[in-house]
Amino acid sequence: MFHYTFHWNQAFKALPQMLDGALVTLQIALLSMAIGLAVAIALTLFRLSGSRILGGFATAWIEVARNTPALFQIYMAHFGLGNFGIHLSPFTSLLVGIAFNNAGYLAENFRGALKAIPDTQARAGRSLGMTSLQAFRLIVMPQMLRVAFLPVTNQMVWAILMTSLGVTVGMNTDLAGITQELNARSFRTFEFFAIAAVIYYVIAKAVTLAARAFASRMFRY
């Protein structure tokens, strides 16, 4: 029942354009991870601070980020904020949406990692005369990042795949956006989507393998 003849030679003409899109995809994913990591560390500190307001804020962020669809978060960053007169470009909306999502998940990763680090570590730091912030920054955080490293790379892969949701807010320069446009123009859906899928796979796999290689070098005991 599949009445379709593949026109690969036509589709491959668009490959350079799609690879340019893949670069934009990677760029958004990396930026969103950088922002997400910074915010997640802040959220982790808020939760450790003992302050009700800060802790509540962090918990609310994490709950919303982890329990609503990424599509919804990105859509809200564009049309939700737009309703209040805050106009983000498609690029920024997508970045904000994914970074918001990343921060929530990464904060949870950090919480899990902190559990693996005994309290005595922080106390040992304090007994050496460090302030609690110093003890966190110099003793606990490096260990936390080490334990959380592989889960963090999972989130990076997830961030790459989430960029494909940008088409819903008018993004047309990333891999998914370019693929959609090529598809609309020519109706060669299956060729273009197959190529896009391979590119996404290669990027995601490369990130995973690079992270594993990095981890096995850095985290030798």
Q: Which chain residues interact with other proteins by CB under 8 A? A: 1-4, 7, 10, 78-79, 82-83, 85, 87, 89-90, 167-170, 172, 177, 180-181, 183-190
The nearer residue to other proteins, 173 or 208, going by C-beta atoms, is 173
CB of 155 to other proteins, least distance (A): 26
- DSSP readout, 30-51? HHHHHHHHHHHHHHHHHHHS--
AA identity, residue 64: V
CB of 78 to other proteins, least distance (A): 7
CB of 139 to other proteins, least distance (A): 47
CB of 64 to other proteins, least distance (A): 22
CB of 97 to other proteins, least distance (A): 15
The nearer residue to other proteins, 187 or 221, going by C-beta atoms, is 187
**Range 76-83, long-range pairs (CB < 8 A, 24+ positions):** 77/169, 78/169, 78/170, 79/169
CB of 164 to other proteins, least distance (A): 12
State the alpha helices, DSSP H only, in 116-140.
119-127, 132-134
Distance CA 93, CA 28 (A): 11
The nearer residue to other proteins, 3 or 217, going by C-beta atoms, is 3
The nearer residue to other proteins, 87 or 123, going by C-beta atoms, is 87
- DSSP readout, 140-186? IHHHHHHHHHHHHHHHHHHHHHHGGGGGGGT--SSHHHHHHHHHHHH
The nearer residue to other proteins, 83 or 216, going by C-beta atoms, is 83
CA distance readout (Å), 16 to 4, 9, 19, 103, 183: 25, 13, 5, 33, 15
The nearer residue to other proteins, 45 or 81, going by C-beta atoms, is 81
